[in-house]
């Protein structure tokens, strides 16, 4: 076997591993989104995600929220407009620059985000309890790598 053949085989294996990881993460994400659905199921994944970010990180500019959510600003504006209409978020002028909006979760929005987080964390905790001690330890050992993969510094 020459070096090119070994590299090609390694690339195929890496592609297969990346596919397996992608599928596992996607399925886990879908499963978690179905856990603890709010009374108002019309929030959608984007609304729930933006609301959770606001509840956890606090008020921020729309541009910062769009960057954190990895969506285009016009898409985020629609999501925030829905959150405002539902009473879960409010937009205010930035005190430093009145041309810019700051968005924050309302008390009701924070309660919904916390309820979802609690329900989803509990559901995940229950599933983790089904793992063997070795599987659980392996998953915990992978957390720093998964956090680094998405740039999550805590």
pTM: 0.65
Q: Which residues pair with 90 in a beta bridge?
A: 104
CATH number of 35-149: 1.10.10.10
- Measured between alpha carbons, how far is 150 from 128 in angstroms, rounded to an integer? 21
pLDDT of residue 39: 52
pLDDT of residue 154: 43
Q: Would you list the domain boundaries of the chain?
A: 35-149
Taking Cα atoms as reference points, which of 154, 149, 151, 153 lies closest to residue 18? 149
Over the chain (154 residues), the average pLDDT of each successive run of 10 is: 58 88 89 69 81 94 92 92 95 86 94 85 92 95 90 55
């Amino acid at each position: 076997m020459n070096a090119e053949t070994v590299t090609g085989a390694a690339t195929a294996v890496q592609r297969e591993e990346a596919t397996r990881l992608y599928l596992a993460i996607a399925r886990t994400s879908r499963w978690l989104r179905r856990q603890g659905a709010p009374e108002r199921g019309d929030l959608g994944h984007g609304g729930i995600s933006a609301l959770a970010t606001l509840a956890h990180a606090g008020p921020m500019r729309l541009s910062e929220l769009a960057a954190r959510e990895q969506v285009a600003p016009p898409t985020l504006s629609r999501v925030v407009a829905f959150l405002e209409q539902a009473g879960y978020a409010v937009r205010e002028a930035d005190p430093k620059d009145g041309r810019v909006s700051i968005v924050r979760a309302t008390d009701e929005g924070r309660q919904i985000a916390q309820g979802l987080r609690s329900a989803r964390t509990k559901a995940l905790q229950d599933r983790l309890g089904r793992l063997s001690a070795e599987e659980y330890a392996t998953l915990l050992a992978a957390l720093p790598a998964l956090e680094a993969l998405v740039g999550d510094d805590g």
